[in-house]
């Protein structure tokens, strides 16, 4: 391991510990090891990590410490395991854990207490369109997607609001060596239509002919309205990703998501 001179790390743990970056978008996550002790450290994790830990949705929270600048560092159990493979996303364990999350009143109340409001469909639409680069707005497929979203806005509105993870990518699912499944990286948590999570998971990982079976495992029925809501959010997410990669000038990824948008529509 590479020993890193990071002020906040040496503040919460002494210099005998060895640290290594754990990846992630913020760069504020590290693994720490001292002899046989291993923990996962993160700065400014989602404020409802304690509830997620208590519900068994993320690895056990060990302690929380506040830094002098107000930042909060959390230490979690470092589990030996691996991320799920794409082909494993149709498993009953995935359906069961997502159902548990979406049905958790404790998670919902915690998000409400920290000021989260349900995501409105109109706000999603306007934000996605507003953030698109002018070059993308010249493309027929992008305009076709925008037209689809606009036409279906009223048809996808629902009173069904749950805690959504919002990034159920296979690499956010951790399977421990004891076959315990966890969903990690909750920085994008929101109160929204469960179709936000379900749509992404089904469209990205599961064959269409297997959707009814998966939805049955989850505990819902695959209605025409649910199909529409899932598609709507996946199209919106795809437009968002296309715009984000365009802003980063990553043309290969832009082309990938434009092609995926073509498939969706």
CB of 233 within 8 A of CB of 196? Answer: yes
Burial class (CB in 10 A: 0-12, 13-18, 19+), 193: buried
**What is the rounded CA–CA span in Å between residue 52 and residue 60?**
9
Q: What backbone torsions phi and psi does residue 80 show, to the nearest 5 degrees? A: -80, 125
What radius of gyration, in Å, describes the C-alpha atoms of the chain? 20
Look-up of token digits 């919902």:
108
With a CB cutoff of 8 Å and minimum separation 6, the contacts of 179 are: none
Q: Is 167 annotated as catalytic?
A: yes
Instruction: List the catalytic residue out of 159, 167, 179, 187.
Output: 167
Catalytic positions, written as ranges: 167
């Amino acid at each position: 391991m590479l020993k890193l001179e990071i002020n906040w790390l040496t503040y919460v743990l002494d210099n005998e510990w060895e640290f290594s970056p754990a990846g992630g978008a913020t760069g504020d996550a590290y693994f720490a090891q001292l002899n046989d002790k291993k923990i996962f450290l993160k700065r400014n994790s989602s404020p409802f990590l304690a509830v997620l830990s208590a519900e068994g949705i993320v690895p056990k929270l060990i302690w929380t410490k506040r830094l002098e600048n107000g930042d909060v560092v959390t230490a979690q159990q470092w589990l030996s395991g691996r991320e799920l493979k794409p082909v494993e996303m149709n498993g009953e364990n995935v359906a069961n854990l997502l159902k548990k999350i979406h049905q958790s009143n404790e998670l919902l109340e915690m998000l409400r207490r920290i000021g989260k409001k349900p995501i409105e469909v109109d706000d999603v639409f306007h934000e996605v369109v507003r953030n698109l680069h002018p070059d993308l707005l010249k493309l027929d497929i992008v305009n076709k997607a925008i037209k689809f979203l606009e036409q279906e806005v009223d048809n996808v509105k629902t009173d069904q609001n749950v805690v959504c993870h919002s990034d159920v990518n296979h690499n956010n699912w951790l399977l421990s060596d004891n076959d315990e499944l966890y969903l990690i990286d909750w920085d994008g948590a929101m109160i929204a239509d469960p179709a936000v999570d379900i749509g992404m998971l089904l469209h990205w990982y599961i064959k269409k002919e297997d959707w009814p079976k998966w939805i049955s495992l989850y505990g819902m029925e695959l209605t025409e309205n649910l199909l529409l809501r899932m598609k709507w959010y996946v199209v919106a997410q795809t437009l968002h990703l296309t715009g984000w990669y365009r802003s980063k000038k990553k043309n290969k990824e832009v082309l990938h998501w434009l092609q995926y948008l073509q498939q969706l529509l």
